[in-house]
Amino acid sequence: MAENLQTTRPADEGWTTVIRPKTGWFDIDLQELWRYRDLIIMFVKRNFTVLYKQTILGPAWIILNPLITTVIFNVVFGGMANMPTDGVPGFLFYMAGNTVWTFFANCVNNTANTFVTNSQIFGKVYFPRLTMPVSQVLTSLINFGIQAVMYLIFWVYFFATGSGVTFTLWVLAVPFVVLEVMLLGLGVGIIVSSLTTKYRDLAIAVGFGVQLWMYASPVVYPLSMLDNSPRLRVLVQLNPMTSPIEIFRMATLGTGTVTTFGIVYSLIFTAAALVLGVVLFSRIEKTFMDTV
């Protein structure tokens, strides 16, 4: 009798679903994540509702934030510091860099507190935990789309006034650049999110760290400005966000420094960050309720 019990399978007893503990290092079921796509969409809607609830201007802040930042960059770095912009209008130069960077920064900041801010939901019902950070980067993608339209409007204006800006064949690479920035932001964000379950200091440091990271990226200065400083140029090129920003400028403004090394390095760094983030996330989600 005992032998029969040991060999009986759940299907033989009429069970349709079997829940087993996840013990591997890479226990992310992408098919399950796809099955919960409706939940991801619901989280995206919730993100918008929570972010702009009880605000006077509402979603208008999606446009106002990068616009005000671009104006400040243009005044401070273009007017007062007189930094070069590779011969293109300073306003467009700064807006191009700021548009890409804001997208990345939002992906990182919004996913950095996934476990801490959603611990009550995680403790009540099961769903793939990765749906939370994925919904955050999709929300950031929508914001980026709105800001990109605003950038395009200004681009048309400067083009019509004969400022010399032009699209290049690199514009075909823009969708891949957007995808890379989104995956890089997701990878870095979930790494930070996984670590904040034990080290709460990271939740405070991440905002400050992202700001410092921006100044290590060619957002307010062109990479060509560092031609006379080889060591500093190499350090900036080791920044995985350097290549996406330069490609976006090359695609829409016809100016920028795009190298094969920069593209390959950025892609490798993005892949490594994403894999490491997913591995950490899959391990931490099993025990984070004990430490959060």
Asked if 167 and 174 touch (Cβ cutoff 8 Å), the reply is: no
Task: Assign residue 250 a region (left: φ > 0; alpha: ψ between -120 and 50; beta: otherwise).
Answer: alpha
| pLDDT tens digits for range 213-240 | 998 999 999 888 888 888 888 888 899 9
pTM of the entire predicted model: 0.84
Domain total for the chain? 1
The neighbour count for residue 211, using CB atoms within 10 Å, is: 10
Residue 38 has pLDDT above 60, yes or no: yes
In-domain check, residue 154: yes
Per the prediction, the chain carries an average pLDDT of: 82
Q: Which helix (H) or strand (E) holds 231?
A: helix 230-237
Pairwise CA distance, residues 73 & 98, whole Å: 9
In-domain check, residue 238: yes
Sequence-distant (≥ 6) Cβ neighbours of residue 43 within 8 angstroms = 131, 132, 135, 136
In-domain check, residue 194: yes
Q: Assign 248 a pLDDT band (cuts: 50, 70, 90).
A: very high
Residue 148 has pLDDT above 90, yes or no: yes
Quote the domain boundaries for residue 158.
27-290
In-domain check, residue 7: no
The more confident residue out of 125 and 152 is: 152
- SS3 labels along 141-152: HHHHHHHHHHHH
What's the whole-number mean pLDDT along residues 59-69? 82
In-domain check, residue 9: no
| pLDDT tens digits for range 70-97 | 899 989 988 888 888 888 888 999 999 9
In-domain check, residue 232: yes
In-domain check, residue 13: no
In-domain check, residue 11: no
